[in-house]
Structure 1
Amino acid sequence: MSELPVVVIGAGPQGLAAAAHLVEREQDVIVVERGRGPAAAVSEWRHVRLFSAWPELTDAAARRLLEPTGWTAPVAGYPTGAEWVSAYLAPLAEVLDEWIRYETTVTGVARQGRDKVVDGGRRSQPFVVHTVDADGRESRLLARAVIDASGTWALPNPAGADGFPAIGESASSRLISYRIPAEVSELAGAHVVVVGSGHSATHTVLRLSEMARRNPGTRVTWALRRGSTANIFGGGAGDDLPERAVLGSRARTVIDDGAVDLVTGFRVAEFRQEGSDLTILAEDGREISGVGRVFALTGFRPDTEILREVRVDLDPALEAVAGIASEIDPNIHSCGSVGATGARELTHPEPGLFIVGAKSYGRAPTFLAMTGYEQVRSVVAHLAGDQEAAARNELVLPATGVCGGSGDFDAAAGGCCAAPSVLQIGASPLSRSRHVAAAPRRSPR
């Protein structure tokens, strides 16, 4: 199998970085990308500004490949998704173009001639990567190893608090979006609800609040599943990612100023469409009514369907690679408190298979680009036989005061580390809100 290539699934930031490391180490590689160009997912959120600075967004091997072409690494500032693509990811993909197959979708990964059940001779067989191109032609790629860097962007979580779509969520899909909006002017005068507590939700709340200030009559409600705002506004001065700290501070300001109504402990159970408006019902019977648009920004989950015929070890709660789950659990860690992970932690019962990047984190929202770059550096060193480099940790993560997600899910306050003093909105004010009303519990329809 030594003559076979390493197949990398996905030409996003981590997939391209993996290819750069493989090329630098003179390892044969094929990158399979279902989009028409590189970083297709990043291009979809091209309007969003990252809170990581340029030095944290480029990979070392990628820089070494690019510099002979006259490319210069950006050294300051916080790019948008579009700027990340145009100034780094697209030039890198151009250098790697001969190794990338675009508009090619991976439909499955297996061992040649053996399904998941078969033990005999399994390790001596190459991987088979099943693909289909834009014209529907099916093919198979043989590989000595597979690096799955396909991400999680294609599978957003639903608004329903139990992990399944809420009652009526699918039927109301015309009024529900699972992406950060690029343009919000069309929502002027409407009542808009944002569901979620992460950075995507915060970005959206801030964008909507700016539009609401310019357009009286626009209402913005931010619905949090958590019973507390203790960790919503970030780590403040304790966060070494200053743009992330600014994001949290701005969110707190719009809440304090009354530009946004904050609803805590609201776990969506049902959507009811009444004419052109929605009523959102919570598990505890509360309602948010007169809603014209919903942005459900509750995170993403990995699509593991293509890996069903190989033996993977995933954490039962996070759907993350089991070897790193305890290090990235959002109940405990933030993206500044997790440690570096490499080839040793990313191994599976199927030797030669690695899941890297955001997909390796499963449902955990604590992933940073620099974490993924360290993963692929270590994995490629391992595949090239350089075990000393594979075991070495070359990553220094920024410190943060931002803490975990659902560990204090029902608590009034608290968390895994000291949180800033924040505005608390209890149950009594919520029941008097002009947008949220207590309602008798109804049986699901």
Structure 2
Amino acid sequence: MKLPVAIIGGGPVGLAAAAQLQARGESFILLESGSQIGASILEWGHVRMFSPWEYNMDKTAVSLLAKYDWNAPQLEAIPTGKELVEMYLQPLAALPEISPYIRVNSKVVSVGRKNIDKMKTKGRDQLPFVIRYEQNGEMNTVEARAIIDASGTWKHPNPIGSGGIFAKGEESASQRITYGIPDVYGNQRQRYAGKRVLVVGSGHSAINTILDLHRLKEEVPSTDIVWVLRKISVQETYGGGNEDQLPARGALGTAIQHLVEGGLLTVYTPFQIEEISNEGNALLVAGTLAGQPFNIGGIDEIIANTGSRPDLDFLREIRYQVDPSIECVPALADLIDPNIHSCGTVRPHGEAELRQPEKDFYIVGMKSYGRAPTFLLATGYEQVRSVVAALVGDWEAARRVELHLPETGVCSSNPLTVGFEAVSSCCAPLPQVPRNCCG
């Protein structure tokens, strides 16, 4: 009996891989650590994406959905994360061709080859993969002929301490720190209304958080917003404005520029956080501002929008490679390095660039970009189309380019975060002022 292909991750790219495999007549199993499909996206479900539906759905998945009574969205509309899940991912996952092979609440803890460790080479490629995963408190094992790791990076946010490590006291203060994009104007309003809130980060997630906090402040004036960045100048966050080819993204930069120049929040940059400690009933954040010691006191809540990183621990027994700085698939490093690129434009790529030393093992989607914040959903869909074609031996299709994207931004000499941000870049989240991602 032919073993299935195992997909790790039940987000947009993982489900696109499932649709591609189904279309090719290949068996698969999809393991999702969350309690439902798209669980990570629902954590930023209130955020609106940068790009319209046209670029947020996989063509093969749409063709499969079209066979049923599916209420397709208007292609020119821009969805929120919640809409992406409820109008696209959940209907796709519920199809009889997909649903029986999805296992939720299934956290992968290890991946390896059957009965040999990482050091053994002879006969390695002929052995099946063995995946151990925890489901509802029990450890389970499944064998697979290939693995597509689409587990993303959202569940592994970067610390707020300088140097990419936890600041002293950061973990102790975790009850007052939220990593990600809380719905500060919606279901978490009471937590932030009337509080002094410190937002850490310089990307679109931070901007969206601040814009929602400002909406809250207009209704609860005692809400105080403090923004700390590591950038030399806050102007670096404004982006292309009206020149941005994704208008919703350009609107973010324009909106935050208005708040900063209007003195509607307090900005400290470049600020490096070194320690968080208690100050009575509040927090004291200590670090350096422009290289000099500086403290910010009276903080009630901290929101960390500092990006995320891939979880590589469960791959310890797999022969894989990542770029040493970005932690992305090595062949993508020069294309997506935010130290070099500001616009996030990446040429189409597929199986050849994603190929790992471990035969039939691939890292795709947000995780393939490592720590880079410029991932677009359409790019992930093209990745899995090519990978699945290779897995079934259709090398002509695997090498073919089938990705067409609009211009994604204004390039400049200063690095600019674009696109799921975690979450991610264009795939990530945004509030009332178009907040966008996943493009």
Q: Structure 1 length normalisation: TM-score?
A: 0.88
Show the counterpart of 1:51. Answer: 50
Query: 1:238 touches 1:400 (CA, 8 Å); kept in 2?
Result: no
Structure label with greater radius of gyration? 1
RMSD of aligned alpha carbons: 1.7
Show the counterpart of 1:392. Answer: 400
Provide closer, same or farther for how the CA distance between residues 335 and 383 of structure 1 changes in structure 2, counting only shifts above 3 A. farther
Query: 1:39 touches 1:85 (CA, 8 Å); kept in 2?
Result: yes
Query: 2:42 touches 2:82 (CA, 8 Å); kept in 1?
Result: yes
Query: 2:184 touches 2:216 (CA, 8 Å); kept in 1?
Result: no
Of the three residues 201, 214, 232, the one matched with 1:227 is 232
Show the counterpart of 1:176. Answer: 177
Cα distance in 2 between the residues matched to 1:282 and 1:297: 18
1:345 partner SS = helix
> Is residue 159 from structure 1 mapped to residue 164 from structure 2 by the alignment?
no
Tell me which moved more, 126-135 or 7-16: 126-135
2:36 partner SS = coil
Report deviation, 1:132: 2.1
Query: 2:245 touches 2:410 (CA, 8 Å); kept in 1?
Result: no
Show the counterpart of 2:8. Answer: 9
Show the counterpart of 1:438. Answer: none
Show the counterpart of 1:331. Answer: 339
Show the counterpart of 2:385. Answer: 377
Show the counterpart of 1:434. Answer: none
Tell me which moved more, 198-207 or 252-261: 252-261
Aligned AA for 1:85? V
Query: 1:43 touches 1:85 (CA, 8 Å); kept in 2?
Result: yes
Show the counterpart of 2:362. Answer: 354
Which of the pair has the greater relative contact order for Cα pairs under 8 Å at 6+ separation? Answer: 2
Cα distance in 1 between the residues matched to 2:59 and 2:377: 12
Report deviation, 1:403: 5.2
Cα distance in 2 between the residues matched to 1:363 and 1:402: 21
Q: 1:63-109 deviations in whole A, cap 9, x for unaligned?
A: 01100102243123211111111110000000110121222221111
Of the three residues 277, 280, 295, the one matched with 1:275 is 280
Q: 1:369-414 deviations in whole A, cap 9, x for unaligned?
A: 111111111111111111111111211233244558xxxxxxxxx5
Flag structure 2 segments of 5+ consecutive residues without an equivalent. 417-439
Provide closer, same or farther for how the CA distance between residues 167 and 45 of structure 1 changes in structure 2, counting only shifts above 3 A. same
Of the three residues 240, 248, 257, the one matched with 1:252 is 257
Query: 2:279 touches 2:297 (CA, 8 Å); kept in 1?
Result: no
Aligned AA for 1:266? F
Show the counterpart of 2:60. Answer: 61
Show the counterpart of 2:24. Answer: 25
Cα distance in 2 between the residues matched to 1:110 and 1:256: 54
Percent of matched pairs sharing the same residue: 46
Query: 1:315 touches 1:325 (CA, 8 Å); kept in 2?
Result: yes
Report deviation, 1:317: 0.4
Q: 1:270-300 deviations in whole A, cap 9, x for unaligned?
A: 1121111112112331221211111111000
Show the counterpart of 1:193. Answer: 198
Show the counterpart of 2:218. Answer: 213
Q: Structure 2 length normalisation: TM-score?
A: 0.89
Aligned AA for 2:154? W
Query: 2:43 touches 2:181 (CA, 8 Å); kept in 1?
Result: no
Show the counterpart of 2:269. Answer: 264
Cα distance in 2 between the residues matched to 1:290 and 1:119: 58
2:108 partner SS = strand
Flag structure 1 segments of 5+ consecutive residues without an equivalent. 405-413, 418-445
State the aligned residue count. Answer: 406
Aligned AA for 2:47? V
Provide closer, same or farther for how the CA distance between residues 295 and 416 of structure 1 changes in structure 2, counting only shifts above 3 A. closer
Moved over 3 A (4+): 400-404
Aligned AA for 2:397? A
> Is residue 79 from structure 1 mapped to residue 79 from structure 2 by the alignment?
yes
Query: 2:342 touches 2:415 (CA, 8 Å); kept in 1?
Result: no
Tell me which moved more, 63-72 or 327-336: 327-336
Q: 1:183-209 deviations in whole A, cap 9, x for unaligned?
A: 343323322110001111111010111
Report deviation, 1:341: 2.2
